[in-house]
Chain A
Amino acid sequence: MVSKPLGRAIVVIAAVLIGGQVTAQDTGGRPLAPTVPGEGSTADHSKFEVLKGPFASGPEVTKACLSCHTEADDQVMHSIHWSWSYDNATTGQTLGKKNVVNAFCGNVASNEARCTSCHTGYGWEDVRGANTMSGERVDCLACHDRSGNYTKLDNAAGHPPLEPLKAGAKTITGASAWVVDLAMAAQSVGKPGRDNCGSCHFYGGGGDNVKHGDLSSALISPAPSVDVHMSPETGNFTCESCHLSDKHVFAGSRYNLNAHDLGGTGRPGERRDVATCESCHSAEPHGASLIGMKLNDHVERVACQTCHIPTFAKGGVATKTMWDWSTAGELKDGKPFHEENFTQSDGKQLHTYLSTKGDFEWGEDVVPHYAWFDGQVEYTLPDDRIDPTGVVEVNRLSGSADDPGSRIWPFKRMEGRQAYDTQLNTFVYTQVYGPQTASAFWTNFDWEKSIKAAMDYVGQPYSGEFDFVDTYMYWPITHMVAPADEALQCDSCHARNARLAGITGVYIPGSTLPVAGKLGLVMLALAALAVMGHGVLRLMGRGKGGSHHG
């Protein structure tokens, strides 16, 4: 670990923890998690005997939960949150965290205890094959704790910090760990808040907003300009307001998006399978005026997000935009070192070099990359051949102007430089985490050993020769929706060299001078020259011109 941009809330937590021991039933001045709107349960979980504790481990709490919620574990274990595996019926690819290689930490396999710290379970220490863990290993509290006291260690395969706590232990958000009070957490349970989902999803890739760009701790309590839906001052949405769940399976997917929702709104309770803008705002969201009509015409070809999320990584939390693994491993006096040459708008210094991870670049208020997108993302999987002579796309966006299902979408385009097998032309797995091993890169700073150990672990062929290749990875941008009056103006695209300059297959008035415009200007110039020439000849003529037709 870790670049450690922490959320404001977490900074407060850390400060308090450094200041004094936290006792049971005391949040120690830790800010309470924002309340979930519409929460009016008929059960007060603090009155259940079975939740009084004491609990010695996470699974003990789960056992208590399951004594009433008899099907909950089975439901969770049928979700991607549990399996980290996803069969895309459209492309035939098997995706999911445990199967793909990404442009950030690379791969889960062989780095388990660190990566699976964010798994919605306890003790997933080997991701090879299917996740066969049983019901009591489901982590209910990660999503349902409403005390703010529960968390998970960053390297214990999903377990929370308990006694005895090792010195320097960190949580999955990068904060200094505290001993969680499992009984307090168990009695606080409720619907997930932004902070619950965020404790994993805001910190993907090893730090706050590193991965997605539009998911950061800024969304725990955002200003309306950062996210008009999630701001407590406006919509106060939780993640689940849009990502509706049914039997612990959530709407919305980054692998298989609904890029062009023609269904629009439904009657109350009708649609529980969508997390699109249209499912609330309809497919004709703009007003009944000429400008509204023109804007509604755009909906056919332009995703809502394209205009309504002018920039991402808002609210003072930067996102990682470039990660070059090839420079990792440099040491000073035999010791790893770090540089911090990026200053975030809150004054925080972010890592731009780590011996463990290589070079980084960061961005705040980033203008997205735009592309035609039909919702399908195809990955370059570890057994797919790559062409190392160019930039390799870790994931490819499917879609084109000719396809009615495609629209112009905004993306975070992550630039990477990742290890690959120079003989087989495939991405390689790397083992980076493993304090006790003789092969993990973060301990030994030796790529040869790291790659060999990881490839042996997953049983994939490896020639023994590697190098690094430039990569792109695309992340659809759909959060951090701005208030309507901060949406893009027409001129943002309808101008020369504007935002959609790289997009083809759609006529964007004003973006270029069309052929007829060039011909027309020539015609106009010829007309002007002709009358000027005629006028000059008249002046040179003997008289001042004759009479005219009147």
Chain B
Amino acid sequence: MAERCVKVYSRFNRLWHWSQVASIFLLLFSGARIMGLHSVLPFGLAVMVHSFGALALLLLWAFATFWLFTTGAWKQYLPTQAGLWQVMRFYAWGVFRGEPHPYRKVLWRKHNPLQAMAYLALKIVLFPGIWITGLIYLTHGFWQTLDKGGFWIEAVANLHILAAFAIASFVIVHVYLLTIGGFRAHVRPMVTGFDMIDLTAEQEAYLQENEPDRLREPRHAAHPAE
């Protein structure tokens, strides 16, 4: 086993991530305006920004889903119990005592088990929840005649808002966890695409032979704490 600097986030993967970051912030900001939490934009403009931002993000998700399945990257998110307990114990205890993170990244699995599970929940519960309720909300004009008294639109709006706050809470925890072990070191791979990965001799040989562009010498010490 040797730790090497390996490209694990492809260009599309990074574009997807950062576009998603931008859209989620735009949508949280404009959505909060529509809900009346601030009045930085006029209401009508906020509705436009929110609607078009959401449609753009939906398009991105369509591409990302296609990408996940065609490249096999979806397997990254398969839930596993292996190592899950150790990771949970680390965040609840070991991290306060300066213990090293129990998870070692390997080539076919760049997320730890807890992280993979959180991302999976985001992708199959919160994201579909927000866009399904959002589309129902957006197309209110087509079904409002069935909703005299406005019960269903209010229900849909509330579910949409709840999903939005859940996503906002995810963002807070997600960003916080980046600070454990060095914020810059954690953000860098999603910028450059390269991360420190434990490679088996076979993997290293394979990459050197077939995909030499995915390997490079580390420019920075990735894990200064170690």
Residues of A within 8 A of B (CB): 290-291, 293-294, 296-297, 300-301, 401-404, 489-491, 494-496, 505-507, 509-517, 519-521, 523-524, 526-528, 530-531, 534-535, 537-538, 540-550
Chain B residues, CB < 8 A from A524 = 165, 168-169, 172
Q: In the complex the two chains form, is B181's CB within 8 Å of A546's CB?
A: yes
29 intermolecular pairs with C-beta atoms under 8 Å apart: A294-B141, A301-B144, A401-B150, A403-B148, A489-B42, A494-B43, A495-B36, A496-B36, A513-B35, A514-B161, A516-B165, A520-B166, A526-B169, A527-B169, A531-B173, A534-B176, A535-B176, A541-B97, A542-B98, A543-B225, A545-B179, A545-B180, A547-B100, A547-B101, A547-B223, A547-B225, A548-B177, A548-B178, A550-B185
Given A403-B148, A506-B150, A514-B35: A546 in contact with B162 (beta carbons within 8 A): no
Residue of B nearest to A512 (CB): B36
Interface of B is mostly: helix
CA distance A491 to B168 in the complex (A): 25
Given A535-B176, A541-B96: A517 in contact with B161 (beta carbons within 8 A): yes
- B207 contacts chain A at the CB level, 8 A cutoff: no
Q: In the complex the two chains form, is B36's CB within 8 Å of A510's CB?
A: yes
Chain B residues, CB < 8 A from A512 = 36
- B17 contacts chain A at the CB level, 8 A cutoff: no
- Of B19-27, B44-52, B66-74, B208-216, the one contacting chain A is B44-52
Q: Which residue of B103, B161, B226 contacts A516 across the interface (Cβ within 8 Å)?
A: B161
Given A514-B35, A524-B169, A531-B176: A545 in contact with B95 (beta carbons within 8 A): yes
Chain A residues, CB < 8 A from B149 = 401-402, 505
CA distance A528 to B165 in the complex (A): 12
CA distance A297 to B103 in the complex (A): 53
Chain B residues, CB < 8 A from A290 = 48, 51-52
Chain B residues, CB < 8 A from A546 = 90, 94-95, 98-101, 180-181, 225
CA distance A232 to B189 in the complex (A): 68
Chain A residues, CB < 8 A from B195 = 550
Chain A residues, CB < 8 A from B58 = none
Q: In the complex the two chains form, is B43's CB within 8 Å of A516's CB?
A: no
CA distance A530 to B94 in the complex (A): 17
Chain A residues, CB < 8 A from B115 = 549
Q: In the complex the two chains form, is B36's CB within 8 Å of A528's CB?
A: no
Q: How far is the CB of A25 from chain B (nearest CB, A)?
A: 57
Chain B residues, CB < 8 A from A294 = 47, 141
Q: Number of B residues whose C-beta is below 8 Å from A?
A: 68
Residue of B nearest to A511 (CB): B36
Chain B residues, CB < 8 A from A526 = 169
Among A538, A542, A550, residue most surrounded by chain B Cβ atoms (within 10 Å): A550
Q: In the complex the two chains form, is A544's CB within 8 Å of B98's CB?
A: yes
Residues of B within 8 A of A (CB): 34-37, 39, 42-44, 47-48, 51-52, 87, 90-91, 94-101, 103, 105, 110-112, 114-115, 140-141, 144-145, 148-150, 153-154, 157-162, 164-166, 168-169, 172-173, 176-182, 185-186, 189, 195-196, 222-223, 225-226
Q: In the complex the two chains form, is B43's CB within 8 Å of A538's CB?
A: no
CA distance A404 to B147 in the complex (A): 9
Q: How far is the CB of A50 from chain B (nearest CB, A)?
A: 57
Q: In the complex the two chains form, is B95's CB within 8 Å of A550's CB?
A: no
Q: How far is the CB of B181 from chain A (nearest CB, A)?
A: 3
Chain B residues, CB < 8 A from A528 = 172
- Return the 3 tightest CB-CB contacts between A and B, nearest first: A543-B98, A520-B165, A548-B181
Q: Which residue of B90, B111, B144, B181 contacts A297 across the interface (Cβ within 8 Å)?
A: B144
Chain A residues, CB < 8 A from B51 = 290
Chain A residues, CB < 8 A from B180 = 538, 545-546, 548
Chain B residues, CB < 8 A from A404 = 145, 148
Q: In the complex the two chains form, is A510's CB within 8 Å of B145's CB?
A: no
CA distance A517 to B101 in the complex (A): 36
Q: Which residue of B35, B37, B105 contacts A550 across the interface (Cβ within 8 Å)?
A: B105
Q: In the complex the two chains form, is B44's CB within 8 Å of A547's CB?
A: no
Given A521-B165, A546-B94: A296 in contact with B141 (beta carbons within 8 A): yes
Q: In the complex the two chains form, is B96's CB within 8 Å of A537's CB?
A: yes
Chain B residues, CB < 8 A from A511 = 36
Among A290, A510, A543, A547, residue most surrounded by chain B Cβ atoms (within 10 Å): A547
Q: In the complex the two chains form, is A401's CB within 8 Å of B148's CB?
A: yes
Chain B residues, CB < 8 A from A543 = 97-99, 225
Q: In the complex the two chains form, is A513's CB within 8 Å of B36's CB?
A: yes
Chain B residues, CB < 8 A from A402 = 148-149
Q: In the complex the two chains form, is A544's CB within 8 Å of B225's CB?
A: yes
Q: In the complex the two chains form, is A297's CB within 8 Å of B140's CB?
A: yes
Q: In the complex the two chains form, is B157's CB within 8 Å of A507's CB?
A: yes
Chain A residues, CB < 8 A from B169 = 523-524, 526-527
Given A519-B162, A523-B169, A527-B169: A549 in contact with B179 (beta carbons within 8 A): no
Chain A residues, CB < 8 A from B157 = 507, 509, 514, 516
Q: How far is the CB of A500 from chain B (nearest CB, A)?
A: 12
Chain B residues, CB < 8 A from A542 = 96-98
CA distance A125 to B149 in the complex (A): 49
Q: Which residue of A490, A517, A540 contacts B96 across the interface (Cβ within 8 Å)?
A: A540
Residue of A nearest to B170 (CB): A527
Q: In the complex the two chains form, is A491's CB within 8 Å of B42's CB?
A: yes
Q: In the complex the two chains form, is A538's CB within 8 Å of B96's CB?
A: yes
Q: In the complex the two chains form, is B141's CB within 8 Å of A490's CB?
A: no
Q: In the complex the two chains form, is B186's CB within 8 Å of A550's CB?
A: yes
CA distance A193 to B81 in the complex (A): 84
Q: How far is the CB of B59 from chain A (nearest CB, A)?
A: 15
Residue of B nearest to A514 (CB): B158
Q: Which residue of B91, B111, B179 contacts A535 across the interface (Cβ within 8 Å)?
A: B179
CA distance A531 to B175 in the complex (A): 10
Residue of A nearest to B41 (CB): A491
Q: Which residue of A296, A297, A509 contacts B35 across the interface (Cβ within 8 Å)?
A: A509
Q: How far is the CB of A225 from chain B (nearest CB, A)?
A: 21
CA distance A519 to B161 in the complex (A): 9
Q: In the complex the two chains form, is B35's CB within 8 Å of A489's CB?
A: no
Q: Which residue of A496, A514, A519, A537 contacts B154 across the interface (Cβ within 8 Å)?
A: A514
Chain A residues, CB < 8 A from B99 = 543, 546
Chain B residues, CB < 8 A from A534 = 91, 95, 176
Q: How far is the CB of B7 from chain A (nearest CB, A)?
A: 14
Q: How far is the CB of A510 from chain B (nearest CB, A)?
A: 4
Residue of A nearest to B94 (CB): A546
